[in-house]
Structure 1
């Protein structure tokens, strides 16, 4: 490798994957107790951390001082690397030998982005170290005003937080005065904490976003270059510095952020990129600047064609290290690198298929076969349960049909006497009618026989 050239984060990740594939010991440590994860955390190698996590690395391993990789990521201000670890389940409140948690380290070194991230993930900012120092004490003694303000804003009681003493009987004001941190002293003396409104609160929490919104490039440079905030820092709406600058059409801020490697493909809670924000406010110059840098998303119906170079130009996954341009590579070089990486993936898949075939021929059973066997067993179990339920429903139906037949028979039996009674009534009425007619005939005959005259009345 030529002198002065360094590998990109993606290249480091590929190298580490190759080493792990060939049996590198993931548990080996340096004389100071550092594992590969500790070193990746120090360097902010996101791809390496992800590779180590995928291969089962223990991120809770402590070095000789009791520091885990999360302590070191917080120390060096690598908020995205820290976020990768927190998402994998790392405890944000793990302590070193001096009861310092990652938030103590971030506060001591003025890493506002890491402090914000740790608080978001549940960091206990009201826990003390073995000397009784809160993270706010540590920020005060080092003069990190933005971290100090943010920590104060997240304490349960700001007034009480300023009055808390450590084991040496010193509060935040005492520590700031002892270490000559005039900015902290002036803030404490002049702050009217109870009068802070919501806008001021937001200013304390996300100073970088406020600077980007106002177009204050000098303040933005100071915050980013001193490691106080991350270039891709997000606020409560998940908007980045680019979103804020794009919304106000601050072209100089946008250009500088892009030169520093800000990711133009990150979306906020509304699913908008910085370019979308600029379009919403009709800032055409910002739109033209940002749209040309956006990476294409892979459509669902797109298929990988290793003969189509254009496919390998479509990239830009959120958080991808490819967008950082640390090597100042051309687009053609990046495309070729992606194509080589894909060809390696294809080769490894082919080798994996061959290895699995050989394993099966030797009588082994693969994870896929075991999974399929379990799925078949589950299917058979479900079918058996359904068959039992079906048989139960069949018996229930037969029982109901028997009950229906019995009800019909009983109804038929009860209907017969009713019909007989009706018939008897009809017969009786007919018999009475015939008897009445006979009596009438007898009366008529008797009258006519006596010699009387029958006259019809008109």
Structure 2
């Protein structure tokens, strides 16, 4: 097994394009050193090496080519740059690499289509998100006046259409023939896109009554191109609007509660057996459809836990998950297990270490159906090792270049910034020193006052002790005087004479 792998690594490819198609950056580097052109055109595909790298998703080869000056403006006979190829193939990592190297993501091919149009047409929502984040104008039009929203609606790319509307694209934009995205969706029978455009518009009439330069509405185009499902939907929609019944709310209270997000009322109706959890209204919708369309995750979660059937279809053939997708209620879509398709534009925020591989098809992220370049785990780790070594070498060379520049008397922006920071720090230190001196003087003053207060307190304590001693002596003297008075009173008191009188003997001479 090891011998087979070794022979596979030692394969010599016949051209630079073949080496890139196999993701062999080492042979790519050797071929360029031996004279192969870094912008050499393949005679069969008419691709340059950078086109080939974006086509197969060879991200490391693309990085190497960009580092060594590959021309990102080279075009194929159809006017496609490497960014166009990456957008068609759904290689969002390659699009990010091109954007990081200042490639023009707004360039147009021979039909006036930019990468944003091609990614929307092919339904690569992740690639579309990368293009939009690079600053591309969402209102860019091709030679027919089509915006990216027209491309997404025409080809039925609901996820891309929802993302474009979130980025500020309007449902009122028209092409050179006056067609709005709704016209194109109706013309091609893209019913989910048409429903989303209606729900995203200020009113249904705003979309369905709009006319192009030929005076045709979306319904007229659907009739002309025999899109029966679209015609039936519009007819039902118009009939329900004209024959709206007030009694519907009274007939289906559980649906009203789910539509309003009133979980307490919905629980009461279902738990007490008044309403069946899968009851259908006149449109064959269940309470789950209502909650999913309005984005009430708590209500929908409770219905799922109570065993509501999420596979029931309404009169339009939609399950609750389909309704949530139509109204772009991504949390409800995820709850119902519909987040695996291409219609969602949420990216995984998990972080991966060097020893773990992100869930990508190859070295580049591939949101298309094609597998692209298949790279082994060992090759991915080797690629990361080479990239890290490149970072370390560039940091070393950068340090040397900066030192050389300073020796020649140059002053780098970071040096000026450092000098400003040092001056600011010195000024701040001086302010703190002045504040410290002020606080020191203030502390000494307070300490002097505290000493005076302590001396006065000591003096007052002595006075208090003296007064306390005098008070005790006065109390003792007073008690002694009271005792003497009591004794005197006892001595003065005479006994009563009980004999009745005194006999006096007199002698007379």
TM range (shorter): 0.5 to 0.7
1:373 corresponds, among 402, 412, 418, to 418
Contact residue 93 and residue 101 of structure 1 kept, 8 A: yes
CA contact (8 A) 1:239 1:267 kept: no
Match of 2:125 in 1: 79
**Equivalence for 2:381:** 339
**Is 1:162 equivalent to 2:208 in the alignment?**
yes
Q: Distance in 2 between matches of 1:372 and 1:238?
A: 50
Corresponding residue of 2:331: 236
Contact persistence 2:92–2:365 (CA under 8 A) = no
Matched residue, 2:231: 185
1:357 to 1:96, Cα distance in 2 relative to 1, 3 A: same
Aligned to 2:194: 148
Q: How many residues align?
A: 366
Displacement, 1:110?
Answer: 1.4
8 Å contact kept, 2:361–2:373: no
Question: Which structure is larger by alpha-carbon Rg, 1 or 2?
Answer: 2
| Distance apart, 1:123 and its partner CA | 2.0
DSSP 3-state at the match of 2:331: coil
Cross-structure match for 2:153: 107
C-alpha spacing 1:406/1:59, structure 2 compared with 1 (3 Å): farther
What is the CA distance between 1:36 and its match in structure 2?
A: 2.3
Structure 1 residues 169 and 244, CA, compared in 2 at 3 Å: closer, same or farther?
Answer: closer
- Give CA deviations for 1:190-249 in whole Å, capped at 9, x if unaligned: 23367877854788899xxxxx96499xxxxxxxxxxxx9xxx993357298x3499xxx
Quick one: distance in 1 between partners of 2:228 and 2:120? 25
8 Å CA contact retained: 1:78, 1:114: yes
What's the offset of the Cα at 1:103?
Answer: 0.7
Q: Which moved more, 1:128-137 or 1:77-86?
A: 128-137
Instruction: Measure how far apart 1:76 and its partner are.
Output: 1.6
CA contact (8 A) 2:361 2:372 kept: no
| Post-superposition offset of 1:185 | 0.9
Deviations 1:129-172 (A, max 9, x none): 34332211111112111111121121111133211222322111
Cα distance in 2 for residues equivalent to 1:238 and 1:370: 53
Deviation, 1:99, is: 3.7
Aligned-partner Cα distance in 1 for 2:445–2:72: 67
User: Secondary structure of the equivalent of 1:363?
Assistant: helix
Q: Among residues 326, 350, 356, which one is paired with 2:398 in the alignment? A: 356
Structure 1 residue 51: deviation in Å? 0.4
1:363/1:31 CA distance change after superposition, 3 Å: same
Residue 316 of structure 1: how far off its partner (Å) = 2.4
Instruction: Determine helix, strand or coil for the equivalent of 1:139.
Output: helix
Provide the residue aligned with 1:126 in structure 2.
Answer: 172
What is the CA deviation profile of residues 238-264 of structure 1, one whole-angstrom value per residue up to 9, with x for unaligned ones? Answer: 7298x3499xxxxxxxxxx8xxxx9xx
Report if the CA contact (8 A) 1:10-1:322 is conserved. no
The Cα shift of 1:107 comes to 0.5
Q: Return the offset for 1:73.
A: 0.9
- Pick closer, same or farther for the CA change 1:204–1:127 going to 2, 3 Å: farther
Contact 1:16/1:48 (8 A) holds in 2: yes
Equivalent position of 1:456 in the other structure: none
Change in Cα spacing, 1:176 to 1:334, as seen in structure 2 (3 Å) is: same
> What pairs with 1:31-110 in structure 2 (closer than 5 Å)?
33-110=79-156
Alpha carbons 2:201, 2:207 under 8 Å: kept: yes
Q: Which residue of 2 aligns with 1:21?
A: 67
The answer (yes or no) to whether the contact 2:172–2:180 under 8 Å persists in 1 is yes
Cα distance between partner residues in 1 of 2:209 and 2:153: 19
Query: Structure 1 residues 378 and 214, CA, compared in 2 at 3 Å: closer, same or farther?
Result: farther
What SS does structure 1 have at the residue aligned with 2:381?
helix
Gap change, CA 1:234 and 1:391, over 3 Å in 2? farther
Change (3 A) 1:98 1:244: closer
| Structure 1 gap ranges (5+) | 207-211, 217-228, 247-256, 272-296, 305-310, 409-458
Work out which structure has the larger RCO, using CA pairs closer than 8 Å and 6 or more positions apart in sequence: 2
The match for 1:12 is: 58
C-alpha distance in structure 2 between counterparts of 1:137 and 1:20, whole Å: 42
Distance 1:367 1:78, change over 3 A: farther
Q: Distance in 2 between matches of 1:354 and 1:391?
A: 46
Q: Tell me, in whole angstroms, the C-alpha distance in 2 between the residues paired with 1:267 and 1:214.
A: 26
For the Cα contact (< 8 Å) 1:46–1:80, is it kept in 2? yes
CA distance in 1, matches of 2:82, 2:64: 14
Which range moved further: 43-52 or 87-96?
Answer: 87-96
Kept after mapping to 2: 8 A contact 1:173/1:185: yes
CA distance in 2 between counterparts of 1:48 and 1:151 reads 31
- 1:251-295 Cα deviation digits (max 9, x unpaired): xxxxxx8xxxx9xxx9889x9xxxxxxxxxxxxxxxxxxxxxxxx
